Amino acid sequence: MSAALVKELRERTGLGLLECKKALAAADGDIDKAIEELRKSSGMKAAKKAGRTAADGVVAARVADDGSYGVLVEVNSETDFVARDENFLGFVGKVLDAAFADRQEDVATLMAGGLESDREALVQKIGENIGVRRSQVVDADAGVVGAYVHGNNRIAVLVALNGGDQDLAKDVAMHVAAVNPQVVAPADMPQDVVEKEKEIFTAQAQESGKPPEIIEKMIGGRIKKFLSENSLLEQAFVKDPEITVGKLVSGAGAEVLAFVRFEVGEGIEVEKVDFADEVAAQLNG
C-alpha cells in the first residue's frame, strides 16, 4: 500500500499505522471498503470525509411570495475569493432568476437560454472555471415552502409543509441546515442503508462475546438509535432541544412533506496535490 493511502486512512479513522496497513491490504487498497471493515472490527462509529472539498462557490434559494414553491441552485467556482466577487454573484442571480421563472431542474436546459454565453464570458473575465452544478424545485401543493440560507451562502435548505406557515418552515429549514438529517422520518430511510448499518452493528456486537439473544437486542437498539439520530422528525429541535422537530411541527397543526439541502461542493472529490511536490515537478520540467 502507498504511504499516501495509509496516511489518508489514518487521518480519516484515527487508528494506528499497522491496523490501517492491514485493513488496506485486506481490502486490496479500497479505502472505503477498509473503513467499513474497520468499523466492524474496532467499534469505530464513523470516519472523516476524504480531503478538502474541491469545488467552491455558492448556493442560492428563492421562494414564491405565496409560498407555493421554491428553488435551490448551486453555482461553483474554483476559489472562495471568486465566490465573493460581484460579477460572479451577479451571474448566480441570473441563474436563480431563470430557474425560478421556469421551475427548471435540468441544468442543460437552463443554460441553453443564453446563460451559457454569460458563463463563458465570466470565465474569460475572471480567469477561473465557473459551473452551474444543480437546480432543484420544491413544491408544497396546498401547503407552504420556507427557505433558509446559512452563512455566506454555503448551505441552503427548502422545507415543504402541509399546514403551518413560512416562518415555521424557515425554522425547520434552519434545523436541517445545522443538523443535516438524512430523511424526514425513520420509515423513509433506504433499506440498503439500514442493512449496511445493521451489518456493521452486528459485527461490533459479536465482538462483545454476549449471548445471541442479548446481541439481537443490542443490534435492535443501535438501529433504532441510528434511525432516530438521522431522521428529521425524531431530532431535538436546534432552537429548543426540549422538543423534537416532529412535536414542533405537529403542535402547529402541520406536517413535513419534504426537504432539500444543498451544501457547496458536497460529494465532489479532487486529487490532493502536495504543494512542495507540485513545485518540484514544475522545476523539473
Every domain of the chain and the residues it spans: 1-48, 56-178+255-263
1-48 has which fold?
Helicase, Ruva Protein; domain 3 (1.10.8)
- pLDDT for 52 equals 38
CB atoms within 10 A of CB 226: 20
Q: Please tell me the CATH code under which domain 56-178+255-263 is placed.
A: 3.30.479.20
Q: How far apart are CA 58 and CA 154, in angstroms?
A: 6
Provide the grid cell at 215.
446481541
Task: Say which residue, 129 or 186, is predicted with more confidence.
Answer: 186
- pLDDT for 51 equals 43
Q: In this predicted model, what pLDDT tens digit does every residue of 187-198 receive, in sequence order?
A: 999 999 999 988
- pLDDT for 103 equals 96
**pTM assigned to the model:** 0.75
Q: How far apart are CA 172 and CA 166, in angstroms?
A: 10
- What integer best gives the mean pLDDT of the chain? 88
Mean pLDDT of 212-222: 86
Q: Where are the alpha helices (DSSP H) in 207-274?
A: 212-230, 245-251
CB atoms within 10 A of CB 33: 14
Decide if pLDDT at 133 tops 70. Answer: yes
